[in-house]
Each structure stands twice: as structure tokens, then as C-alpha cells.
Structure 1
């Protein structure tokens, strides 16, 4: 196990910068997820850590040792790819043992490590099968087993669940998290799925356009987003955003574009005259017969809850209710806002104004 540090790491393809001075500290044994939209640089950063991409600037350190110029085989890492990358002509056992065979490890050591990894991953009865005889989830376990037998300082996962169906992704998320708790090996995991990030990570790094937007625990990012990008990216359904301005005569009120007067958690006299965004997560909107009137646009029942999109405050706003609601598009409902959970952002800078 080892710490991992990115210190002012940069990467350019020709004159085009894709990683723009990234700083991340990963503690020994931490499970850290790099998350962001496609093209944000997260996979490039992981490949630089693995030694598969050259570094244009800065330093990457594993266990305190600078690895910028080290080839992948000398970095003591193991990587699990999105496409499994299994050898079709080899059995599960040989796929898992391949790196040890290349290193001329003793056969007894190979057998011991393969059996240990197979036991952890539930593959003991499948060691004689070939990849074509396995399901997608089983193939992903084999890819993980191949990484485990190497006993590396750091595990790297590059969107390993993207090729699985929704139900299997949920199961594999739990398996990978349980595996980390058992092995306690430093893990860096890349995904574009913020639900994966929220449910699995000890710490999340939110990336956008080659930069780190915010680093924190899942609940820190959910409850205290630094800016509009993090607020909109973390959480499903996403945070509602309503544009408006502070009432100069009553700075505890934000006046939305359509004139709706929205309550704030405290007075914001310092924000008077600025274009603002009023942020509120869907679960902090409740039904209230004497509250704001909102027109129903879309109803999305999911079983245990109902998501309703309404027109409110000059925007389309998502509400999440646990109640069974008999309502149709075009009708109105009355809603109340939990103002204690309102976020206020500066529209120009995108930064959150502290409550």
C-alpha cells in the first residue's frame, strides 16, 4: 500500500492542454474516485499515473517516490480496464496468473495467489473455464483477480463497470467496495457515473475541463458544493437552479425571473445587485396546501418515490415525493421549500456564496 500525489501535473497534446495543473493527495489505503463528464481529463490522469501517458509537467509520486520517468512495470500498480482485456485462449486460472508467469514466479506461489484471489471473488469453481464461457460480471471479476494476484501498492480502475447492465453494475459496485475493505489497498477509480462515485468512494475528485473543481467526501460534495458545476453534476436528480436577484429591501428574499419571492436561509445584503442562482435539491421540496403554486409538466413514478417536474420560479424544477400523488400534467400543486437547505451561487463566477 502507498500514498499517491499529483503535484501541479499537466498534460498537453501538441499545443492543446488537457490537464491544467492538477493537485491531488491520496492517503494510504484510500478509495478515491475521479469523476466528471467525458473529456474532462480523468482517464488521461489515470493513464499518466499508470505510466501509459507521458507527463508534460509536474510530478506524480507513489509511496513518496517520483515515478514520472518510470515504465509501468516498475510502478507497482495493477490496472483493471473497461473492456476486461482477457486472453480468450487461456483459462481463468491462466489469465489471472499471467503476470506472475511472465515474472517467472515459483509455481507454488502462483497457485497460492490465484486460489486466494479466486476465493475472494467467488471464482474458485470457474478456474478451468475460458472467457467465452463466462458472463460479463464473471469476466470483470477475472480482470480484478488478475490485478489482485500481483499484490500491488495501488489499484487503478478505468470505468470497469461501463459494459455491464444496470442490475449487474449495482452488484459489482458492492463487490468492489467490499473488496477494498478487505484488501485495504490504495485505489484510484475513474468513472463518469456520479452514482458510482457517491456510493463507492472514500473521497471524490470532481474534474471539469482538465481541472479539479472540488475534492471531498461524497456527502461533503453533495451538501456543500463549491460551485455551480459540482452542484449540478453531483446528485441524481440534479440540483434545481432558479435565476434571480436579492430583494434590496428584504435581503432574506430572492426574486426569481418570473417575480416569485423565494426564501433564503439568511439575509444576503452583500449579494444585492448581483445575478444569482438559487440552488435547491429535489428532496427539500415538499407538498403543502398553502405553499407556492406550481404547474405540473412531467410525472415520473419510480415505485418507492415519484419525481415531478414543475414550472416554478421561471424554471423547470424537479421535486421528489414519497407520497402517491394523483395529478396530471397541466394541473397545479402546492409546494413548500426547506429554506435551511438552499444554496446561493454567483451566476457570473459560478461560485457558492457561503450561507
Structure 2
């Protein structure tokens, strides 16, 4: 196993920069997820780590060795792709053992390693089948088994669950997390799904437009987003954003553009009169008979929770209630806000100002 370091890594395609100076330090045995919207550069960064893309500037280290000019086969990494990349004419066992066969490993060693990997992933009864005889989840486990057999220093996952249905994605998330806990191998995982990132990662790297917006543990990013982008990207439903300013006479009151007055526990660096964005997660809004009036727009009962969209502060706001709510679109309800969980952001820079 080994740690991974990205040191001022840059990548350009012609005159177009796509990675704009990335610094990431991944500890030995850590599960790190690169997350961000399509086109943010996360897959390009993973491909540079794998040796599938050249680096324009900066350096990448694996286990302390600079690998910029090192071919992929010498980096001691194993990659699991989105599309499985299994050989259709080979059995599951042969697919899993293929890299060892290329290295000239004796058959006894290949069989032994395949057996261990198959036992870990619950594949012993499928070893004689061909990929066409497997489900999507089984094919993904075979692709993971092929990586495990190599016993690499670093596992790389490039959106491995994108082709699976919702229920299977949930199951596979748990399997990959359990696999990492058993093997404790350094893992770098790319996804655009922030739910995957929150539930699986030891550390999340949020990327946007070729730069790193924030690095931290999942709950750290959720509770203390560095800026508007991270606040809006992490969390489902997304954080509510309301434009306005602090009351000049009372900095614990935020005045939305439509005049709605909202509570603030700690305004931090925010100044009275400054253009701000009021950030509030849906779960910190509650029903309160003496609260702020809001018009119901949409109600979405999910069983355990009720999701609701209301008109608040001049725009639509998402709410998540644990209780069953008796209301209909067009009605007015009263809402309370837990001011301790309010975030204030600079409207121009996007930086979080509240503590």
C-alpha cells in the first residue's frame, strides 16, 4: 500500500486548461472520493494518476515515487472502469486472472489469488460463467475481483456504479466500502454522485472547473461548506439559498429581497448592508405555529419523511419534515428556522462568512 500526492498538477488540451493547479494529499490506506459535476476534471485527474493521460505540469507521487513519466503497468495500480471492460470470450476466473497470466505467474498462484478474491466478493459459484451470463452487479464484482487479484498499492474507481439501477447502486456502495475496510488499500474513487461521496469516503475532494473547492471529511463539508458551490453541491435535497442583507440595526436578522426577516445566530464576518446569500438546509426548517408564513407549492410524501417546496424569502425553498404534514398546495403554513445551522455567504465571492 502507499499514499498518493498531487503537487500543483496541471493539464491542458492545447491552449485550454482543464486542471488548474491541484494539490491533494492522500494518506496510506485512505478512501478518497473526487466528486463534482461533469466536466470538472475529476476523471482527467484519475487518468493522470493511472498514467492514461500525460501531465502538463506539476507532479504525482505514489508511495513517495514521482510517477509522471512512468508507464501505467509500472505504477502498481489497479483500475475499475464504468463499463466493466471484461473480455467476453473469457470465463470469470480467466478474466480475474488475466493480469497475472500476463506477468507469467504460475497457474497455482493465479488460482489461489482468484479463489481469495472470489470468496471476498461472493463469486465462487460464477467462476465458470462468461460475462454475458452475468447481471450488471455481478459484472462489476468481477471487475473489482480482477483489481483485487493484482494486490496493487492503489485502487482507482472511475464512476463504477453509473450503469447500475438505483437499488443495486445502494448495495454496491456497501460492498465497496466493506471491501475497503477489509483490504485497507489506498483508494481513489471518482463520481458525480454526492450521495456516493458522503456515504463511502473517508475524505472528499470537491472539484469544480478544474480546481479543488474544498477537501474534508463528509460531515465537515456538509456542516461547514467553504463556499456557495460546495454548499449547493453537497446535500440532498440541496441547501436553500436566499438573497438579501443583514438588518443594519440588528445583525442577527437577515432581510430577504422581498422583506422576509429570517434569524441568524452568528453572522461572523458578514457586515450590515453587505450583499449576502442566506444558506439553510431543508432539515433545519420545522413547523411552528408562531413562525414565518410560507405558501405551499409542492408536497412530496416519501413515507418516513415529507418533502415540501414552499415560497420563502422571494423564491422556492425545500423543507424536510419528519412528521406527516396536513397541507395542500396554495395553503399558507408557518415555519420555524434553527438559526444555529444558518450559513451566510458573500454574494460576490461565494465565500462563507458565518462561523
TM range (shorter): over 0.9
Task: For residues 166-207 of structure 1, give each alpha carbon's deviation from its aligned partner in whole angstroms, at most 9, with x where no partner exists.
Answer: 000000000000000000000000000000000000000000
- Kept after mapping to 1: 8 A contact 2:246/2:252: yes
Q: Distance in 2 between matches of 1:302 and 1:43?
A: 34
Inter-partner Cα distance in structure 2 for 1:130 and 1:260 = 63
Cα separation, 2, equivalents of 1:269 and 1:132: 59
Counterpart-to-counterpart distance in 1, 2:290 and 2:21: 51
Match runs of 1:102-251 below 5 Å: 102-251=102-251
1:50 and 1:339 map into 2 onto residues whose CA distance is 45
Moved more, 157-166 or 251-260: 251-260
TM-score (ref. length: structure 1): 0.99
2:266 and 2:29 map into 1 onto residues whose CA distance is 40
Alignment check: 8 A CA contact 2:173 2:200 kept: yes
Cα distance, 1:266 vs structure 2: 2.5
Q: What CA deviation, in whole Å up to 9, does each residue of 1:60-98 have, x standing for no partner?
A: 000000000000000000000000000000000000000
| Cα distance in 1 between the residues matched to 2:344 and 2:273 | 14
Residue matched to 2:33:
33
Maintained 8 Å contact 2:293/2:333: yes
Q: CA deviation at 1:101?
A: 0.5
Hey, what's the Cα distance between the residues in 2 that align with 1:108 and 1:236?
A: 49
Is the CA contact 1:251–1:269 (under 8 Å) kept in the aligned structure 2? Answer: no
Measure how far apart 1:287 and its partner are: 0.4
Q: Does 1:16 align with 2:46?
A: no
Residue number in structure 2 paired with 1:315: 315
TM-score by length of 2: 0.99
Distance 1:162 1:108 in 2: 35
Provide structure 2 residue ranges, at least 5 long, that are not aligned to the other structure.
none
- Find the aligned partners of 1:318 and 1:271 in 2 and give their Cα distance: 27
Partner residue of 2:62? 62
Which aligned segments of 4 or more residues in structure 1 are displaced greater than 3 angstroms? 267-270
Q: CA RMSD in A?
A: 0.8
Q: How far is 1:325 from its partner?
A: 1.1
- What is the DSSP-based 3-state SS (H/G/I as helix, E as strand, rest coil) of the residue aligned with 2:237? coil
Q: Does 1:349 align with 2:349?
A: yes
Compared with structure 1, are the counterparts of its residues 267 and 66 closer, same or farther at alpha carbon in structure 2 (3 Å cutoff)?
A: closer
Partners of 2:267 and 2:350 in 1: CA distance:
20
Once the two structures are TM-superposed, the CA of residue 304 in structure 1 deviates from its matched residue by 1.0
Provide closer, same or farther for how the CA distance between residues 267 and 241 of structure 1 changes in structure 2, counting only shifts above 3 A. Answer: closer
Report the Cα distance in structure 1 between the residues aligned to 2:265 and 2:239, rounded to whole angstroms: 17
Return the alpha-carbon distance in structure 2 between the equivalents of residues 160 and 182 of structure 1: 19
Q: Distance between the aligned counterparts of 2:123 and 2:309, measured in 1?
A: 45
Instruction: Determine the C-alpha separation between the residues in 1 that align with 2:20 and 2:133.
Output: 44
Q: Indicate the SS of the match to 1:109.
A: helix
Give a deviation string over 1:100-136, Cα, whole Å, max 9, x none.
0011101111000000000000000100000010000
Consecutive unaligned residues of structure 1, counting only runs of 5 or more, are none
Alignment of 1:294-313 (within 5 A): 294-313=294-313
* Number of residue pairs matched by the alignment: 355
Shift of 1:268: 5.3
SS of 1:89's equivalent in the other structure is coil
